Amino acid sequence: MSFINTPPQISIPITGSAETFPVHQIYCVGRNYQKHISEMGYSQEKTVPFVLFLKPPDAVVQNGQTVCIPGFTNDFQHEVELVIAIKKEGSKISEKLALEHVFGYSVGIDLTCRDLQNEAKNKGRPWTFAKSLQNSAPISDITPVEKCGYLQEGNIQLSVNGNIRQKNDLKNMIRPVQKIISELSQFYTLFPGDIIFTGTPDGVGKLEKGDRIFAEIDGLEPLTITIN
Ligand code: MN
């Protein structure tokens, strides 16, 4: 087969390997830590809905790069998240078999225009301009499960200019990795190259020009990003 052109193939480095991980889709889960649900002003729910949105593949920003604050927002915020990298196709995957689809994990930041998101919520519009922007998904190099194991707990934190803003534990995720994969695959067929952001803990906040972000999760390659 031949193609009429060659659009960019977005990819993410893999720790300890010369090979890279080509990105297919980027799925993002919302409302996955109770304290973040509270800080966003949602009332306590017995059953937290499965909130999902997507980012385009060119949302990916490599470790060590600089992200510019878009001119159309006055409230550009950080959300540190565990990111799952998928290696195997599947749909309607059971929780029991879900981890067989995991290639590895990264530290990611779901960069969000909170003012546009609040406006969209108020007006019943989609979150696209708040969440699904190019360069809105910095991701650290992927650590394969052979090196870090299957993550169910561990420290997740984000600092801005040396001050800790977000700090929590992966064990507090309302939906753990296997449940997210199972639930997502009821709606979408997952493919190798898919990336899943798993939701942020509390402590999200505004970023300013010149900020230096350091995000880390136990056992994974940390992520450094500069804001401009
Ligand atoms: Mn998020």
List all residues 6 or more positions away from 59 whose beta carbon is below 8 Å from its beta carbon.
Answer: 26, 132, 133, 134, 135, 136, 137
Count CA atoms closer than 13 A to 225's CA, side-chain side.
34
pLDDT, one tens digit per residue, over 184-222 is: 999 999 999 999 999 999 999 999 999 999 999 999 999
Residue 1 has what pLDDT?
Answer: 87
Residue 41 has what pLDDT?
Answer: 83
Q: Which segments of the chain have a pLDDT < 70?
A: none
pLDDT, one tens digit per residue, over 37-58 is: 888 888 777 788 999 999 999 9
Query: What's the CA-to-centroid distance between 196 and ligand 1, angstroms?
Result: 10
Query: What's the CA-to-centroid distance between 2 and ligand 1, angstroms?
Result: 37
How far is residue 78 from each of residues 89, 180, 203, 205, 212, measured CA to CA in Å?
A: 31, 22, 9, 6, 11
Residue 43 has what pLDDT?
Answer: 78
Query: What's the CA-to-centroid distance between 199 and ligand 1, angstroms?
Result: 5
Query: What's the CA-to-centroid distance between 62 and ligand 1, angstroms?
Result: 18
Query: What's the CA-to-centroid distance between 204 and ligand 1, angstroms?
Result: 9
Query: What's the CA-to-centroid distance between 81 and ligand 1, angstroms?
Result: 7
Return d(Cα 93, Cα 101) in angstroms, integer.
Answer: 9
For residue 212, list its beta bridge partners. Answer: 226
Query: What's the CA-to-centroid distance between 30 and ligand 1, angstroms?
Result: 5
Return d(Cα 125, Cα 77) in angstroms, integer.
Answer: 20
Residue 44 has what pLDDT?
Answer: 77
Query: What's the CA-to-centroid distance between 6 and ligand 1, angstroms?
Result: 31
Query: What's the CA-to-centroid distance between 111 and ligand 1, angstroms?
Result: 8
Query: What's the CA-to-centroid distance between 203 and ligand 1, angstroms?
Result: 12
Show the beta-strand stretches assigned E in 56-162: 60-62, 66-67, 76-78, 80-86, 102-109, 112-113, 137-139, 143-144, 155-160
